[in-house]
Each structure stands twice: as structure tokens, then as C-alpha cells.
Amino acid sequence: MPDILPSIDNRNSNLALREYASILFKIGNTYYARKHDGSLIASVRGNNAEVVIQAALDQQGTVYFADSGDNNYWLCSNSFTGFNVSTNTHIIFDTGPGRAYITVPTGFTGIAFKYSALNYFENVSIRGLSMYENGTASRNWTGIKFETSANSLSYCHFKDITIHDAYVGIELETSNSRWIESNHFENIQLIQCRTGMLFDQQSGTIHRNLFEKVVCNAITQSFATHGFKDIDGNGNIFLGCDCWDFVTSNMEANIKSTAQWTMIIGGQMTGWLGHFVDQGFKTMIVDSGRSNANNSVITRPDFAKYGTFSAAGATAGEGLLNGILANVTVGTGAGSRTFDSTGLYRTYDTGGTVNSIFGLYGNQTHMNRINNPFFKTAIYLNNNTNMRVFAGFVASAVAPASAADPLNGLEGVGLWFDSGVSANWKRMHNDNSGASVVDDTGVTAATATLYPLDIYGIWDGIFRFVFNGTSTDITTDIPASTTGLSFRVYLENTAAASKTMRHYYLTVRNDK
């Protein structure tokens, strides 16, 4: 009867050794890297584990960090400059209780794992990596950086990763028209990093990547600045991603104006504990929980009441706004529907008589702070002299009158511009205690510029004001939790000449 298997020669006599391209392990104070055939790649004694790790990475293939029991901290020396990872390299850590922990030196300022200077690559992965900074953390280093200036990163998988105390946990950088696309980042914890995940799309694109259960945990909020910073690119999906232990001084996430079709499903990263700024195009958020303080695509009436005005008609509102929109027509002003490359909008033109007013308002007070009201609009100034503009919440269901302080004696929060007082946009807010409080945004009210605005109330004493890429909490001189609120969007001329602005859309929401 013939042999089922051919003879095994001496070189291959131990098949178990061939499971991985190389195996890393630690005995006492000595680190070892062994090749698949049993030969020694490198060994080193002392706190310079980087020598054997880089030697194993240079072999490419699958690099396995074996379980080493309690002796599991792989200490890198003060001369450590980071690991360079080649294409066709898979890094696997044992995920048991004795898993290996890569420990960068105190005060390290470099990149621990760097993916760059490669040709186009698809065949790389990491599973089970854990990293710390030795001693008292200074948080001036980057955990993993994908730098695609001469290459691109596609179809790769990074899973079960924990990075503690970095300046940036994971950074995605594209330049020279390269791309980071169709990769999967799964079950990743970025703990007490200054920035959890950073998107740096210089040119090229970061697109259609899946971020699944990526968690940014601030723990000590004074160290954290951002969870997900400068989200960019096309079609990226965030599934069940969380920013834990953030406070109002932290930014959970911001989406840049160059981002398109970002989708956020579940999780907690859209501004319930920290701030969230969305300047992207067609961002979609799907979340039925209170962890989502921003807009949601879920429109069941038992979740929230929605209303939209799309500028298609003068007062044509849908949902919550149906039948409650009215034009402000003080003087001989008019409005007209039109569209161009900036989108569909209505032009609001005041009359030529001084203190003419034209705009839109709600004739019912149907929202209140205890039910987390949300107001979103976008306006565009054709003029910026001899005029006033207001957009926001107000505790009134009647049309506005000419006023240098439109919230005087009223409760409300809004965006305000008075060219006779300042060239800048202001935040105006009042709790019906006299004159309004007016804060400078530092943003000049320019013409031919689209200004999206989000204002939303949070039941426990906050109105969050998101404008021109900055999110600001207003906690004093604001409407009481149960005060009925409506809204206004209008302009007024302050000299005998017609003034014009565009109004693109209006979205409102009120819980329950």
C-alpha cells in the first residue's frame, strides 16, 4: 500500500514549527525571534525588545507573539524609533491573560507602528496588539500610522487592538493622490489618548472603510481633545463606535466639509457627552437612543417629531412644520424660489423702506428644552451692510418687529448679525431677564458664503450652538426647560435700500 504522505525530510521534520513565518517569545529578561524552520532570527537581553521585533517583521509573513505568562511586557529602549511594517505582514498577538504588551519608552515622540514606503499593498493585518507608554505617560507619540504617499492601503483588517496614553491612537494619512479604502477596523480601544483616531486626507481619499466598535475612552477628560478628529473622505461607515467618559470640553467627533456620505450607525459619537460638528455632505446618522444628540434618519413619531422646509415653496412645511410656517412681511419685501450650483433656496428681499423685514417664522411654540429641540438651517448673505439677521429659537409665535435686540424680554437662542454694531456673527441668548447676552463668534459675516447652523437644546441645561466648524455650549441666560419655543429666520434693512439673503432649508425636531 503506498504512503498517503510523502517522506518528510530532516529540514521539515517538525511541521508545528511551520505554522507561522516567525514566532516571538520572552524568557526571563531575554527576547527571542524564531523562524518557521526553528532557526533563530534574533535574540536580545534587556529593555530593547525592538531589536527582535523589527527582525521578525523584516521576515514578512505571519509574525506571532506567543503567550508569555506574567512576563509579558515587551520593553523598548530609549533609542526606540518605531517599527516599520512591510507588505505581506500579518501581526498576531496571543489574546490570553498573558498576552504581550508593547511598551514604548517614557517621553517617546515617534510612531510605534508605521505603514509607509511600500508599494500598493493589500495583504497586511494586525490582531490583538496592545501598547502602553512606560512610566508616567507624556502622550506625545502615535500608536499606528498609515501613511500613503507612495502607496495605497486596501482590503486590510485591524482587530482587537488596545492603545493607551498616545497623542494619537491611530492616524490615517493620504497624499500624492493615493488612497486608504475598503479596510476594516474592528474592536479597537483607544484609551486616554489625546486624539483617538485622526483622519489626515491631504490629497487622494480615505473612503469606504468600516470602523466597527472603535471606542475612544477619555477616562481623565483633561487629557482628551478629540475622539474621532477630522473625519474625511467618501462613504466611511462607523458602526457602534463610542466616545466614553467625554465631557463638554471634549470633541467626540468632527466631520470635515470635504467628507461625503459618512454613515454613523448606533454608538455614541455624535454629541451627547462631548461636542460633535458635522460639516460634511449628506451625512447619515441612524440612532434611536439618547446617545445621539444630533439629527437622526429615524422618523417614527414615537421617537421624535420632525419637520422640514426645503425652500420649494414660500411656507411649504412637512411633518411638524406643516401648516405652522408664515412669512415675515414688514414693508414691501418679497421672496422667490430659485436654484443654482449651491442648491435650492428662497431669496429673501427686504423692501427699500428702512426697517423692512422679510423671512420665515413658526406661528406655534411647539418645542421645549426638556424634549431636546433641534434646529438646523443654512443661510447665505448677498449683502452685509446696513442690515440685521437672526436665525434660531425664540419663545414667541408672532412675527418679529424691528429691533436692535430681538430677544429682549423673550427667551431664546439664535445666530445674530447687526452690521451697525459689528462685522462678525454673534451668539444671542436670553432667559427673559432683560437685555440679551451677545457673544462674538469671531466669524466675519461675509457675502457669497454658505453658513450652516445647528442649535439644539439638551434637557439638563445646555443649548449647543454649532457654527462654522465650532461647537459651543451655552449654559447661562437660556430658555427654561419647559418654555415653549418656536423659531425665526429673517433679515432687516437698517437703511433705505433693499437687502437680500438666501434661505436654503430648515429642519426641526422635538422628542416625544
Rounded Cα–Cα distance for residues 391 and 487 (Å): 7
Rounded Cα–Cα distance for residues 76 and 163 (Å): 15
Q: What is residue 298's predicted lDDT score, i.e. its pLDDT?
A: 58
How far is residue 29 from each of residues 57, 74, 105, 245, 476, measured CA to CA in Å? 21, 10, 17, 37, 58
The 3-class SS string of 16-78 reads HHHHCCEEEEEECCEEEEEECCCCEEEEEECCCCHHHHHHHHCCCEEEEECCCCCCCEEECCC
CA nearest 433: which of 408, 453, 414? 408
How many residues appear in the chain?
512
Spell out the domains of the chain, with CATH numbers in brackets.
10-247 (2.160.20), 304-511 (2.60.120.200)
Site of grid cell 449651491? 342
Residue 138: partners with Cβ closer than 8 Å, 6 or more residues away: 106, 107, 108
The per-residue DSSP string of 128-148 comes to S-EEEESSS-----EEEEEEE
Residue 134 has, within 13 A of its CA and on its CB side, a CA count of: 16
352-361 b/e with 16+ CB inside 10 Å = b?
Answer: eeebbbbbbb
- The 3-state DSSP class for residue 446 equals coil
Handedness of CA 97, 103, 106, 111 (dihedral sign): negative
CA nearest 258: which of 239, 285, 277, 230? 230
Rounded Cα–Cα distance for residues 359 and 338 (Å): 16
Q: What is residue 9's predicted lDDT score, i.e. its pLDDT?
A: 43
Q: What is residue 415's predicted lDDT score, i.e. its pLDDT?
A: 98
Residue 392: partners with Cβ closer than 8 Å, 6 or more residues away: 375, 412, 413, 414, 415, 428, 453, 455, 487, 488
Q: Residue 147: how many CB atoms within 10 A of its CB?
A: 21
User: For the chain, which ranges sit under pLDDT 70?
Assistant: 1-18, 67-71, 97-98, 117-121, 288-303
In this prediction the pTM is: 0.86
Residue 508: partners with Cβ closer than 8 Å, 6 or more residues away: 306, 307, 308, 320, 321, 362, 367, 373, 374, 375, 376, 487
How far is residue 169 from each of residues 54, 81, 84, 140, 163, measured CA to CA in Å? 20, 17, 17, 10, 6
Query: In the numeric block, which cell numbers belong to residue 18?
Result: 511551520
Rounded to 5 degrees, φ, ψ at 270 are: -115, 30
CA nearest 32: which of 77, 65, 78? 65
3-state helix, strand, coil in the chain (%, to 5): 5, 50, 45
